[in-house]
Structure 1
Amino acid sequence: MGGDPVIVPPALSSARASDEGLIPSPTMAVERTGRLTYVARNENGAEVRVGTESVPGTFTPGELLKIALAACNAMSAEARLVHTLGPEFDSETVIETLKHEQEERYARFRVTLTAPVQDLEEEKRDRLSERATVAVQKNCTVGRTLEAGAAYEFLLAGEGE
């Protein structure tokens, strides 16, 4: 028969020496609903439409990555902000990116969380900024994953496999 052997990668749950301390997290799936259009749902009943920039009412995968990082940063910093600002405050988290066009990847992200901190004393504001930054660095799974450069693999399977 000749040719290169087919290499079947091990299941994600298969143990490897470098996988110590890893546990599986919930599986997610996207369902194709049309040409370059998909819908993702979670167990809570939420749903998001994914498509190209030309498909109205959808987010692109890159936009979802940015949204995930921005939301993760905001949610990770929230306890620190609530502690200082109280439970009722408005905020907006904006993410800026630099994209490497030829390699079709993002090279850099900058997340800016704007909250009503302008009237805090400088020392209190600096302490809040430091504590919020530490909370984000410790608790933002998306940011920590991007920093560590998680590996991924693509597999094509037949229905029912």
Structure 2
Amino acid sequence: MGNKRIWVERNKDGSWDAFSEDGAHIKFGHDRGQFTPGDLMRVALAGCGALSSQFAVESALGDGEGAKIVVDGKYDPETDSYVSFDEHIVVDATDPANGAKIDDEAAEKLSKRIQAHVKKGCTVAHTYEQPTPVRMDVEIRH
């Protein structure tokens, strides 16, 4: 899962492209309409929550249903780091088209299932919740 090679390359316009060895691609940078690296940290947390909760949500509401996940971060300019994240998971069970009938008891049960799935399966949250060393190697080719 986590062993796939990832790299980034700078574009002539100042933006960056991220690639994975299996063909994934995303553009990022500091310009309007681009994710910054800090944004991508929050995207990773939200995406992990989405994928981890998907089974529980689809089991309750039907195939193709999912949660909307909003992640805010508290940024500390003195340390140039995020010191905390707030993750808000919203499941819209009001759509009668999906055929699900959710009462208070079923909603509470689904909430607990989602929390359990995310706590068990979200690698990003597990990583953010512990000290994670970053090692750097610089190679100058000349």
Query: What secondary structure does 1:49 align onto?
Result: strand
**Among residues 28, 42, 61, which one is paired with 2:20 in the alignment?**
42
TM-score (norm. length: structure 2): 0.84
Bigger mean CA deviation after superposition, 125-134 or 89-98: 89-98
Aligned to 1:156: 138
Asked if 1 retains the 8 angstrom alpha-carbon contact of 2:57 and 2:67, the reply is no
Task: Specify the alignment match of 2:98 in structure 1.
Answer: none
Identity of aligned residues (%): 26
**Residue by residue, what CA displacement relative to the aligned partner does 1:21-70 show, whole Å, maximum 9, x if unpaired?**
xx971221111224753211123423111212xx2442110011110100
Residue 67 of structure 2 is matched in structure 1 by 91
Matched, 1:144 2:130: no
The separation in 1 between residues aligned to 2:14 and 2:40, in whole angstroms, is 15
Contact 1:49 1:57 in 2 (8 A): no
Higher-Rg member (1/2): 1
Gaps of 5+ in 2: 95-100
Q: Tell me how far apart the structure 2 counterparts of residues 143 and 149 of structure 1 sit (CA, whole Å).
A: 12
3-state DSSP of counterpart to 1:96: strand
TM-score, normalized by length of structure 1? 0.75
Q: When the two structures are aligned, how many residues end up with a matched partner? A: 136
Residue of structure 2 equivalent to 1:130: 112
3-state secondary structure, aligned to 2:84: strand
Q: Which amino acid aligns with 1:139?
A: G
